[in-house]
A and B are shown apart, each in its own frame.
Chain A
Amino acid sequence: MTNDVQTKAADAPMTAEQVSEKFNGGKKVIDFVGKKKVFFGLSLAIMLIGLICNFIFGTTLDIQFTGGATLTYSYTVDKDHPIDQEELRSFIQEHTKDKITASFSTDLMGNTGENVSVQFSGNDSIKTDIQENLTKDLQKKYPDNNFKNLEANSVDASMGFMFLLKCLAAVALASVLMVLYVTIRFKKIGGLSAGVMALVALFHDIAMIYFLYVIFQMPIDSNFIAVVLMILGYSLNDTIVIYDRVREQRKLMGRKTDVGTVFNVSCTKTLKRTIMTSVTTLSAIMVVYILAFIFNINSVKSFALPMMIGVISGCYSSICIAGPLWVMWQNKKAARKAAKKA
């Protein structure tokens, strides 16, 4: 373990105190590289849990991708006109051959009252007359509950699949472009290694968001793709600010200084910024999430929650995954060079 950090045996390795005295104004330099086993272990453990959940629960794709239909109705209830949710569910079930799943929610602000979402199994779009009749039947059966159609969505299976492919192509394209950008901009600190390791961190973040969807049983929809792309940009932003500092510190500390030490110093110096930006971003999203929760706006809720996880994961992966991996790569390269010379 320590070998990785201090490969350049030729120079006597500096002690932690010396490093902090010399490069960080006497403040403690945090040894990120040295704790890499803990970090990698933690990430792998979370991924393992996610994978297990994936095997148990499976992944659900939204009807945007698989085809299918959902209908959402709003209704009101009061003392004299209560509605039994189970009864409502079976009432709707009687009106279609497809098996339905109904979910109920409430708008805490009372603007749209009680909501029921009905998802039809089967991967085809429902015929428009089913919706029309269902609305009428519901209004007839519960005349005092103000049944209104809030939202409807119905997708043809073939269209959904095309959309899924398009989304995946977008993610692939974004990843390639960003690695390219990092590779070109950070030539001085081993461009390709920096780019590839940043990419590993990005996949780490995507995996985290994906497992969140799996664990919370949220269907993967176009919001997922938007969040993934957004987090790609965000997480790479963090990584780049650190790389930028590494580039600068390397000049200051000289080529002879061990790569791990350079990274630790750079990362310590940018740590506050990384955390602060994550805090401000996170608080903005959290405000959005809380209000979407109060007002019961599903499309925004399913956007904000994975975004929060992504921001946390993006911040973590930049410091604890991309950095130490890059140091390992650089050390390997140095070792190989040394071996060639010998």
Chain B
Amino acid sequence: MKRVPKPVFFIVALLILAFSFTAIFGISYYNGDNKNTVIKGVGDIRWGIDIRGGVEATFKPADGYDATDRQLQDAKAIIELRMVSQGITDYELYADTNSDRIIVRFPWKSDEKDFDAMAAINEISSTAELTFRPGAEYTTTELGSDGNPVYKTPKGDTETVLMKGNMVSKATSGYINDNDGSRKFVVDLELTNKGAETFKDITTKYLKQQVSIWMDDIMLSAPNVSAVISNGKAQISGNFTSKSAADLAQKINAGALPFKLETSHYGNISPTLGENALTAMAYAAVIAFIVIALIMIIFYRLPGFVAIIALMGQMALSVAAVSGYFTAIPSFTMTLPGIAGLILSIGMGVDCNVITAERIKEEMSGGRTLDGALEKGTKNSLTAIIDGNMTVVIVSIILMLVFGPSNILSFIFGESTTGTIYSFGYTLLVGVISNFIMGIFFSRLMLRSVAGFKPLRKKWLFGGAKND
């Protein structure tokens, strides 16, 4: 057998310990009051709404109204605007055009006090009111969750409403070629007959002045009136990108939607319940690890001890894949079933160590030397480990595909929010992959290296009979 140098065991073990430490605690330093996170640890994991507490709701057009795909997207744009303007970052939002549903899921804001889910749901699904107002004076500026400022609450002259959204029949985004040949993005407004008249009066009165467009309490845009418009076709130009023009058009359209939104499904979880669950799961993870460590050491001695180090590495790797430790793997929203999956993979993770250790034991009782048994045992157990783990891989991928946001079954069943089970699939998959890396590669490296130490070269330590 190819011997592995003795120090390898210590190097691998130390690396795993160092990695586990950083994966759990993360690395961060304080610059004054600002925390700078270099490496993300458990504390930086983004928890799902079943842990942080939050609200989930599905809306559909009221009274069975059959909305067009376009209208549904417009309605979605409004909910998005409301989420962003309230500073909610971790929201999920989908519009399912097949069944005319809009699904939203968002956590409670960290400074939320009364956790009134009903009020929150009613607020985001209320009918949007689009208004045109003179000037562009606002009371407050807040930073929206997309990083752009949100101007709220009209004041002074701007409190007057000149025109309402129902006078706009359509808004579209497009582009015009400027004099110098560059492309300029614009939003075209088409007004109703009544709207055209009103708009003519407005543009006459406020020529060369600002007229702002508001959605509820939020200012969307504040263009200057450059000409009197009497034919009911207006154009807003400015510093638009193709996306921001499309966004604005969508929001203006949503202010003239012919239907109300009705709540067809909702759920909410208070943060107390989630926090409680998180504590329970944290205890469970630690206790489960200790129990399995004891089982492994009692039954498999030295290979069992090596398995525990590898298992620690496996856990750290799984945590790292969730927290965003590696910049290449984005952080993942962790839910209760996700944690359960992680703990489950502690139990299943030792499987490949068990298979190998049993095989080594068997080869030794078959009369092989220690080295021979190690070689034969690790080699013979490989196919079983790979074939066995493949099934768990298949299952976890299916769990992710089926309960993920847009999935292979979407074309039949429509989009949905990522159910909490999605992260169960993810942690299971991550667990199996880390298990391959730690349980097979590193465990074997450590085992072979340890077998080089004279005092440890006893068959008993590898699970053989006592007198060997």
Q: Which residues of A contact B (CB under 8 A)?
A: 25, 72, 74, 107, 109, 111-112, 125, 128-129, 131-132, 148-156, 159, 162-163, 165-167, 169-170, 173-174, 177-178, 181, 185, 222-223, 225-226, 229-230, 232-234, 236-238, 240-241, 243-245, 248, 269-270, 272-273, 276-277, 279-285, 287-288, 290-292, 294-297, 299-300, 303-304, 307
Which of B268, B280, B296, B420 contacts A292, CB < 8 Å? B280
Q: Which among B81-89, B172-180, B228-236, B258-266 touches the partner chain?
A: B258-266
B residues in contact with A225, CB < 8 Å: 421
Q: Shortest beta-carbon distance, B467 to chain A, in Å? A: 17
Residue in B122, B281, B299 whose CB lies within 8 Å of A300? B281
- Chain A binder among B249-257, B380-388, B443-451: B380-388
Given contacts A169-B409, A295-B280, contact A226 B421 (CB under 8 A): yes
Are A241 and B277 touching (Cβ within 8 A)?
A: no
A170–B354 alpha-carbon span in the complex (Å): 31
- Picked from A151, A174, A277, the residue with its CB within 8 Å of the CB of B395 is A174
State whether A233 touches B396 (Cβ < 8 A).
yes
Assess whether B58 is in contact with A150, with CB atoms less than 8 Å apart. Answer: no
Residue in chain B with minimal CB distance to A198 = B391
Docked-complex contact B295 and A234, CB < 8 angstroms: no
A233 close to B395 (CB less than 8 A):
yes
State which of B32-40, B147-155, B206-214, B343-351 sits at the interface with chain A.
Answer: B343-351
Contact B388 A283 (CB under 8 A): no
Whether A288 contacts B395 by the Cβ 8 Å rule is: no
Which chain B positions have C-beta within 8 A of A240? 384, 387-388, 391
B329-366 residues at the A interface, CB under 8 angstroms: 336-337, 340, 343-344, 346-348, 350-351, 354-355, 358, 362, 365-366
**Are B340 and A162 in touch, CB under 8 angstroms?**
no
| Cβ–Cβ contact B355 & A159, under 8 A | no
- Chain A binding surface, main DSSP class: helix
- Beyond A151-B273, A169-B412, A291-B287, whether A277 also contacts B351 by CB under 8 A is yes
Q: Are B118's CB and A181's CB within 8 A? A: no
Provide the bound-state CA to CA distance between A229 and B346, in Å: 18
Contact between chains at A149 and B117 (CB < 8 Å): yes
Q: Is the CB of A109 within 8 A of B276?
A: yes
B263 neighbours in A (Cβ, 8 Å): 125, 128
Among A170, A244, A270, A300, which residue has its beta carbon within 8 angstroms of that of B336? A300
From B273, B389, B424, A237 is in contact (CB under 8 Å) with B389
Task: State whether A154 and B266 are in contact (beta carbons under 8 Å apart), knowing that A226-B337, A300-B336 are contacts in the complex.
Answer: yes
With contacts defined as CB atoms under 8 Å apart, how many contacts are there between chain A and chain B in the complex?
237
Closest to B125 in A: A128
Asked if B281 contacts A166 (CB within 8 A), the reply is no
B72 to chain A, nearest CB (A): 16
Majority DSSP secondary structure for residues of B touching A: helix
B310 to chain A, nearest CB (A): 14
Given contacts A125-B263, A149-B268, contact A237 B391 (CB under 8 A): yes
- The 8 Å CB contact of A281, one of B348, B403, B416, is B348
Q: Which residues of A contact B440 (CB under 8 A)?
A: none
| Best-surrounded residue of A111, A150, A155 (most CB of chain B within 10 A) | A150
A234/B392 in contact, CB under 8 A:
yes
* B29 interfacial by beta-carbon distance below 8 Å: no
Q: How far is the CB of B64 from chain A (nearest CB, A)?
A: 12
Q: Which residues of A contact B412 (CB under 8 A)?
A: 165-166, 169
Interface pair A150/B347, CB less than 8 Å apart: no
Contacts A269-B362, A284-B288, A304-B340; A233 near B268 (Cβ below 8 A):
no
Closest residue of chain A to B282 (Cβ to Cβ) is A291
Q: Check A291 against B284 for contact (C-beta < 8 Å).
A: yes
CB neighbours (8 Å) of A169 from chain B are 402, 409, 412-413
Q: Tell me whether B272 and A150 are in contact (CB under 8 A).
A: yes
Are A152 and B268 neighbours in the complex by a CB distance under 8 Å?
yes
Set of chain B residues within 8 Å of A151, measured between Cβ atoms: 267-270, 273
Measured between alpha carbons, how far is A169 from B409 in the docked complex, in Å?
A: 8
Complex Cα distance, B399 from A177, in Å, reads 13
Judging by beta carbons under 8 Å apart, are A288 and B288 in contact?
yes
- Beta-carbon contact of B58 and A166 below 8 Å: no
Contact yes or no, A155 B265, CB < 8 A: yes
Q: Is B11 an interface residue (CB 8 A)?
A: no
Residues of B within 8 A of A154 (CB): 265-267
Task: Report the bound CA distance from A236 to B122 in whole Å.
Answer: 47
Contact residues in B for A156 (Cβ distance below 8 Å): 58, 264-265
**Minimum distance in angstroms from A86 CB to a CB of chain B:** 25
Assess whether B4 is interfacial by the CB under 8 Å rule.
Answer: no
Hey, which chain B residues are within 8 Å of A277, CB to CB? Answer: 348, 350-351, 354-355
> Interface readout for B399-433 with A: 1 if CB under 8 Å, 0 if not?
10011000001001110100111001000100000
Question: Can you give 28 contacting A-B residue pairs, CB < 8 Å?
Answer: A25-B365, A111-B272, A111-B275, A125-B264, A125-B266, A131-B118, A150-B270, A156-B264, A165-B412, A169-B402, A226-B337, A229-B395, A230-B428, A232-B391, A237-B389, A240-B384, A244-B384, A273-B354, A277-B354, A281-B351, A284-B344, A288-B288, A291-B287, A297-B273, A297-B280, A300-B280, A300-B281, A303-B337
Return A33 CB to nearest CB of chain B, in Å. Answer: 21
